[in-house]
Amino acid sequence: QVQLQESGPGLVKPSETLSLTCTVSGGSISSYYWSWIRQPPGKALEWIGYIYYTGSTHYNPSLKSRVTMSVDTSKNEFSLKLTSATATDTAVYFCARVSPTGSTGGPFDFWGQGTLVTVSS
Amino acid sequence: DIVMTQSPDSLAVSLGERATINCKSSQSIFYSSNNKNYLGWYQQKPGQPPKLLINWASTRESGVPDRFSGSGSGTDFTLTISSLQAEDVALYYCQQYYATPVTFGGGTKVEIK
């Protein structure tokens, strides 16, 4: 059974960079697309982007100028960096696997538990 | 962006009764070349990540009870819980994966009447 676990600081200061890592266990990161999705408190889900195990990426245009995703197949993990953080970036951040029977954008069949990142001074 | 609009925002249903959630996309998410609707349904309980229930609008994921069913095509879709159980109390989201950016509906809260 594939498991995903997000890790990173729970508190980020405004204007700084939010950095998270998703570690995949129980399966290989290779041959799959992986995504980051966030959920502001009490609000709906927002897709941030996806990365393929080869390193190719596709970001949500609403965040594209601030987002970078990377993958490290040797560690079976992928990462998210979001620069110039503001209070509106406060959210639970999930990493997820794109179903191999889906398309590049989804659906998402395995999810991490999520990690709350608060942007505040 | 394709906008996904869910209705109602919330509904209260008696145990054993039917619950119906609607999801409408701002443009068709049906791909004629493979005859598939690029729509998924998720269930999210408090403090948990979403759980994929249905993909391709009507295909249940392995292990999902058969009281959950999905239907619809083009721009109009429905998730039906045929006989509501206590453990079905949750938020439900639809998601289109026809085009990027991938987008989700605003969610529907299902409660027990």
A66-95: pLDDT as tens digits: 999 999 999 999 999 999 999 999 999 999
Contact present, B87 and B101 (Cβ < 8 Å): no
Query: 10 Å Cβ neighbour count for B69?
Result: 16
The confidence band for B99, taking pLDDT boundaries of 50, 70 and 90, is very high
Q: Measured between alpha carbons, how far is A98 from A52 in angstroms, rounded to an integer? A: 10
Question: For an interface test with B, which of A6, A103, A104, A109 has the most B Cβ atoms less than 10 Å from its Cβ?
Answer: A103
Positions of E strands within B16-107: 19-25, 30-31, 36-37, 39-44, 51-55, 59-60, 68-73, 76-81, 90-96, 103-104
Q: What is the pLDDT of residues B41-76, one digit of tens each?
A: 999 999 999 999 999 999 999 999 999 999 999 999
Q: Is B100–A111 a contact, with Cβ atoms under 8 angstroms apart?
A: no
The partner residue sitting opposite A107, judged by closest CB among B40, B49, B106, is B40
- φ and ψ at residue A51, rounded to 5 degrees: -135, 140
